């Protein structure tokens, strides 16, 4: 009894790698191996690289917009009629500045997901689930090993990013202290350059840290979707069908095929027998056939049924052991008689026709 319980426990333990079907089903639910750090790093990298190219246009546009606000808006009288127009103009100008950056960020997010999981459509992942708002499960997630790993990762990233930013600012401290001596545009470009430099280097750092994170996420995902031996067996049964049901289905198909074959025995010209183990029914129509064909064949019980049907329907039975064996082993139902057996079959048919008085 104890051994049976131990075996049952072993079968339920998740020790097997997930099958392709299991992975496909998990993918349909939106469960895939993905690192959010990869997304963050790629988005930051593309945005800040774009900012280097876009910095001149961005700075000039912001400078002109600020100049316009201070020279035009502040000298105009602010009323209930003029205020909406001012806000609308500022909103449009801000959108012109921000929209290209947002498009690059969206493109980076899409690209990062495509690199990790490819094209995926999983509407089941966005379905509302009561389990997601279960406080007990929420607490378990907060105090789980996975949460501790994420906390350690976050602290490591904050520390490294902070040290990198501090180092760059420290290296450029003299230049930053002289900003008050420079004009607005020159100061803006210098701050923008340092911001972009910090952003690009931080993005590269996060991308470097994302590689082991992606490996960990993939390992964790493979561990979560592992299957027990019983799960593999159940899945195999669902895909291939229960062996018992398949056996019954196969038996039923054989019975139906045998029944259809038996319907051809009364139409045969002759049944060649072994005499008890084999039986082969032959039919020949000179106008329609190039050679006699096998309309039925069987062994043991099926051969007995064929002989009984032949006797009831007055089909000639011919005992020829070598010919019966050769026909059964060399042909299938619907086949023509092989050339090497033509002579023997012709002699049998001639004997049958002679009995029937057709010659």
Q: What is the pLDDT of residues 219-235, one digit of tens each?
A: 877 887 777 777 777 77
Q: Identify the pLDDT of residue 3.
A: 45
Range of the domain at 213: 26-121+130-236
Question: Are 231 and 281 found together in one domain?
Answer: no
Residue 301's domain is classified under what CATH number? 3.40.1690.10
Question: Are 195 and 291 found together in one domain?
Answer: no
The enclosing H or E element of 323 equals: helix 321-330
User: Residue 296: which pLDDT band, with cuts at 50, 70 and 90?
Assistant: confident
Q: 321 near 331, Cβ under 8 Å? A: no
d(CA 26, CA 122): 10
Question: Are 106 and 220 found together in one domain?
Answer: yes
Using the structure block, give the residue that is written with the tokens 């350059």.
193
Question: Are 263 and 350 found together in one domain?
Answer: yes
* Domain end (from 236, 270, 295): 236
Q: Identify the pLDDT of residue 9.
A: 43
**CA nearest to 216, candidates 42, 36, 41:** 36
Question: Are 312 and 211 found together in one domain?
Answer: no
The pLDDT of residue 359 is above 50 = no
To the nearest whole percent, how much of the chain has pLDDT over 90?
1
Question: Are 224 and 331 found together in one domain?
Answer: no
Question: Are 166 and 42 found together in one domain?
Answer: yes
Q: 232 in a domain, yes or no? A: yes
Q: 108 in a domain, yes or no? A: yes
Q: 4 in a domain, yes or no? A: no
- Please provide the DSSP assignment of 181-227 as one string: GS-HHHHHHHHHHHHHHHHHHHHHHHHHHHHHHHHHHHHHHHHHT-E
Q: What is the per-residue pLDDT across 140-161, written as a single tens digit (0 to 9) for each?
A: 666 677 778 778 888 888 898 8
Question: Are 158 and 230 found together in one domain?
Answer: yes
**CA nearest to 257, candidates 332, 358, 189:** 332
Selected residue with higher pLDDT from 271 and 128:
271
66: left (phi over 0), alpha (psi -120 to 50) or beta: alpha
Q: What is the per-residue pLDDT across 91-113, written as a single tens digit (0 to 9) for each?
A: 887 788 888 888 988 888 888 88
Question: Are 209 and 181 found together in one domain?
Answer: yes
Question: Are 147 and 205 found together in one domain?
Answer: yes
Strands 227-228 and 14-16: antiparallel
Question: Are 291 and 337 found together in one domain?
Answer: yes
Q: Tally the domains of the chain.
A: 2
Question: Are 87 and 198 found together in one domain?
Answer: yes
């Amino acid at each position: 009894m104890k051994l049976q319980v131990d075996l049952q426990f072993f079968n339920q333990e998740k020790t097997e790698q997930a099958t392709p079907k299991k992975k496909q089903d998990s993918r349909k639910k939106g469960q895939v191996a993905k690192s959010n750090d990869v997304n963050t790093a790629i988005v930051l990298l593309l945005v800040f690289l774009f900012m280097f190219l876009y910095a001149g246009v961005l700075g000039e546009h912001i400078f002109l917009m600020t100049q316009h606000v201070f020279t035009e808006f502040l000298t105009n009288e602010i009323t209930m009629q003029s205020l909406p127009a001012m806000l609308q103009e500022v909103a449009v100008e801000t959108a012109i500045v921000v929209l290209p950056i947002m498009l690059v960020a969206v493109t980076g997010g899409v690209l990062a997901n495509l690199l990790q999981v490819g094209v995926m459509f999983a509407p089941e992942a966005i379905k509302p689930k009561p389990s997601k708002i279960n406080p007990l499960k929420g607490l378990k997630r907060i105090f789980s090993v996975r949460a501790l790993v994420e906390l350690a990762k976050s602290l490591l990233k904050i520390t490294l990013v902070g040290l990198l930013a501090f180092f760059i600012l420290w290296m450029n401290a003299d230049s930053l202290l002289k900003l008050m001596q420079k004009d607005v545009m020159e100061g803006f470009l210098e701050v923008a350059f340092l911001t972009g430099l910090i952003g690009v280097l931080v993005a590269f750092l996060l991308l470097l840290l994302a590689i082991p994170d992606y490996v960990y996420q993939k390992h964790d995902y493979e561990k979560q979707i592992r299957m027990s031996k019983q799960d593999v067996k159940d899945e195999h049964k669902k895909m291939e069908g229960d062996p018992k049901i398949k056996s019954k289905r196969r038996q039923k198909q054989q019975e139906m095929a045998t029944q259809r074959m038996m319907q051809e025995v009364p139409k045969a010209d002759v049944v060649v027998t072994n005499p008890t183990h084999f039986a082969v029914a032959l039919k020949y129509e000179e106008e329609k056939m190039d050679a006699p064909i096998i309309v039925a064949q069987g062994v043991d019980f099926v051969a007995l049924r064929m002989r009984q049907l032949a006797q009831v329907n007055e089909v000639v039975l011919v005992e020829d052991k070598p010919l019966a064996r050769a026909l059964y082993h060399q042909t299938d139902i619907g086949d023509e008689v092989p050339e090497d057996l033509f002579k023997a079959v012709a002699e049998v048919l001639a004997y049958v026709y002679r009995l029937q008085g057709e010659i």
